[in-house]
C-alpha cells in the first residue's frame, strides 16, 4: 500500500483513447471472471469525462453479488494476472471487506487501470453522479481539471494530500448533482 500511495501524481490532457481502454479492460474482465459473480461495469472518474485533464489511469466500477466472491474467487484470478489487490474493511480491525480495488499496470510498471468492486447497494455507486454532473456541465469539468493540475503541482508525491485537497470541490459538485437528481 505504501508503494501505491507514494507514486508520483501526473495530470495529463484528456486522451480520446481512454474510453477504448475502458472497453478493452471491461471485455477482459468479462472474459476471465465468473459471469454469475459480476454485473454492470462502469467507466467513472476523470478519464470518463470528455475533455477533462486526468491522471492517465482508467477508473472502473464493477458490480459484484458479494465481497466474499471478490476475496475468494476474483482476487486470486486478477492477482494471477499481475494486478495488485487492496481492500477497506467493513469495520476497522474486523474481518469483512466493504470495498475492494485492484491496480493493473503495463509492462513498464505504470498504472493503467483502477478496478473497483462494489456490491449493488454500496453508497460508492454515487461516484457516477459526479461523473455524470461533470459530463453535463463542462464549465465545472474545466474548473475541476484546473484544480487537479494545481494540486498535483503542489503535492506530486502525496496521493492522500491530493485526494483531500479535492474534497471541498467534490462535496460541492455532489450536492449539486444530488439536488439535480431530486429536482
* Average pLDDT for runs of 10 along the chain of length 183: 70 98 98 96 97 97 95 96 87 67 95 96 93 98 97 92 95 95 71
* pLDDT of the residue at 87: 85
Distances (CA, A) of 180 to 13, 52, 136: 28, 21, 11
DSSP, res 12: B
* pLDDT of the residue at 91: 60
* pLDDT of the residue at 2: 53
CA–CA dist 50, 21 (Å, integer): 14
* pLDDT of the residue at 183: 60
The three grid cell numbers given for residue 9, joined into one nine-digit string: 501524481
CA–CA dist 143, 125 (Å, integer): 23
Domains in the chain with CATH codes: 2-125 (3.30.460.10)
* pLDDT of the residue at 5: 59
Amino acid at each position: 500500500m505504501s508503494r501505491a500511495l507514494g507514486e508520483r501524481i501526473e495530470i495529463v490532457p484528456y486522451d480520446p483513447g481512454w474510453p477504448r481502454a475502458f472497453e478493452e479492460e471491461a471485455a477482459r474482465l468479462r472474459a476471465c471472471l465468473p459471469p454469475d459473480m459480476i454485473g454492470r461495469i462502469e467507466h467513472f472518474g476523470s478519464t470518463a469525462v470528455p475533455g477533462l485533464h486526468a491522471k492517465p489511469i482508467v477508473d472502473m466500477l464493477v458490480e459484484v453479488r458479494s465481497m466474499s466472491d471478490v476475496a475468494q474467487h476474483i482476487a486470486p484470478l486478477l492477482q494471477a494476472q499481475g494486478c495488485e489487490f487492496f481492500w477497506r474493511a467493513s469495520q476497522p480491525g474486523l474481518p469483512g471487506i466493504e470495498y475492494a480495488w485492484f491496480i493493473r499496470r503495463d509492462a513498464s510498471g505504470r498504472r493503467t487501470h483502477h478496478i473497483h468492486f462494489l456490491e449493488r447497494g454500496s453508497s460508492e455507486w454515487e461516484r457516477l453522479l459526479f461523473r455524470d454532473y461533470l459530463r453535463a456541465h463542462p464549465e465545472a469539468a474545466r474548473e475541476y481539471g484546473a484544480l487537479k493540475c494545481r494540486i498535483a503541482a503542489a503535492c506530486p508525491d502525496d496521493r492522500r494530500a491530493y485526494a483531500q485537497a479535492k474534497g471541498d470541490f467534490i462535496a460541492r459538485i455532489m450536492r449539486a448533482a444530488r439536488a439535480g437528481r431530486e429536482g
